[in-house]
């Protein structure tokens, strides 16, 4: 699998660095977002905020402006809080002490930056291992058993690449899989779900438009219950504050 990865790996910019800050930026941006969409945001972000100090002291408005369009804006605020922690106290031994960092992100950054021998188990890795070894497999334990000694970083990258490009959720291409031999190929049929609302009908869309219009200094594009529900969520997440007249503004 490692040989396969070296042949087919996509040239993503975060794969060319061992800087823990740059790697943390990439992992936070990659949460629920496709890699190719992240690339231009990642590059612009590091141009503007090249290290934890630059991000920690930046105005929140600048942070949100650079993130705008990537979605899930609260990720940007969590990343800034993490940068402030690193700038103030240094990198913690346990990366999950940083705001917004869970076990997967901690394992990924730890292995890529410092060669920590831990498997980074995300949705892709879970899918690969359950399809290969069965639904009752302890994915985290099994992934850590498979990590080659001293090679957690390339192993984690290879597993992510395998899940993202070959062992895909709906259309896996088992004919080109480097570890197809012995695989149970437990590919479940897609679950029929009720038709999802259009993105423009969701609260997430409204929240994103509110932040974008506040950044642009334009009038709010919504009114009524839909607006108030979105504003309450944005205020709860620290993405807006209210002035003395109750009008929303960026923090």
> Which are the catalytic amino acids?
27
CA distance 112 to 19: 9
Tokens for 105, please give them.
């992100």
| Torsion sign, CA atoms 235, 238, 239, 243 | positive
SS3 66: helix
Strands 241-242 and 248-249, sheet pairing: antiparallel
Distance, in Å, from the CA atom of 227 to the CA atom of 210, rounded to the nearest integer, reads 9
| Structural contact between residues 118 and 110, judged by C-beta atoms closer than 8 angstroms | yes
> What residues does 248 pair with on adjacent strands?
242
- The number of CA neighbours under 13 Å toward the Cβ of 93 is 0
- What secondary structure letter does DSSP report for 241? E
Cβ-proximal residues to 243 (8 Å cutoff; 6+ apart), any chain: 249
């Amino acid at each position: 699998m490692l040989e396969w990865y070296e042949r087919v790996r996509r040239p993503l910019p975060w794969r060319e660095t061992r800087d823990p800050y740059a790697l943390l930026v990439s992992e936070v941006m990659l949460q629920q977002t496709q890699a190719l969409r992240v690339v231009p945001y990642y590059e612009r972000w590091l141009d503007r905020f090249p290290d934890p100090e630059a991000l920690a002291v930046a105005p929140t408005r600048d942070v949100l402006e650079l993130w705008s369009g990537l979605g899930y804006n609260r990720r940007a605020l969590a990343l800034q809080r993490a940068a402030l922690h690193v700038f103030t106290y240094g990198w913690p031994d346990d990366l999950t002490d940083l705001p917004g960092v869970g076990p997967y992100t901690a394992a990924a950054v730890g292995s890529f930056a410092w060669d920590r021998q831990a498997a980074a188990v995300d949705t892709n890795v879970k899918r690969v291992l359950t399809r290969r070894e069965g639904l009752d497999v302890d994915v985290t334990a099994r992934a850590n058993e498979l990590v080659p000694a001293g090679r957690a970083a390339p192993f984690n990258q290879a597993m992510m690449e395998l899940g993202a490009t070959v062992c895909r959720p709906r259309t896996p291409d088992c004919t080109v899989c480097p570890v197809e031999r012995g695989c149970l190929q437990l590919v479940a049929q897609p679950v029929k779900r009720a038709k999802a609302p259009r993105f423009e009908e969701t609260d997430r869309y409204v929240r994103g438009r509110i932040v974008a219009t506040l950044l642009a200094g334009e009038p709010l594009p919504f009114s009524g219950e839909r607006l108030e529900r979105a504003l309450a969520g944005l205020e709860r997440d620290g993405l807006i504050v209210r002035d003395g007249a109750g009008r929303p503004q960026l923090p």
